[in-house]
Homo-oligomer: A and B are copies of this chain.
């Protein structure tokens, strides 16, 4: 089963990497950029038959390893 995890920093949490990229873009002449947020997508191939059970297991992977629950929100999606 193909599973996609979307991980974003919470809106109220600063994104220093995004700020650095925004400055670099401005230095390159891309003055129209008003903000940048860097997010992550993790694509997993997971064995299993029951989509709900697979989603629950992947959510547990997020809590234990893939995401930082203090700073980030995650969303698990079955894609195929």
Q: A residues bordering B, Cβ < 8 Å?
A: 6, 18, 21, 24-25, 28, 30, 32-48, 54, 57, 60-61, 64-66
Q: What's the Cα separation between A45 and B25 when bound, in Å?
A: 12
- Neighbour of A65 across the interface among B21, B45, B48, CB < 8 A: B21
Interface contacts beyond A21-B42, A24-B65, A33-B44: sample of 18 additional A-B pairs, CB < 8 Å, sorted by A: A21-B66, A25-B65, A28-B65, A30-B57, A30-B61, A32-B47, A32-B54, A32-B57, A33-B45, A33-B61, A34-B46, A36-B42, A36-B44, A36-B45, A37-B42, A38-B40, A38-B42, A41-B41
CB atoms of B47 and A34 under 8 A apart: yes
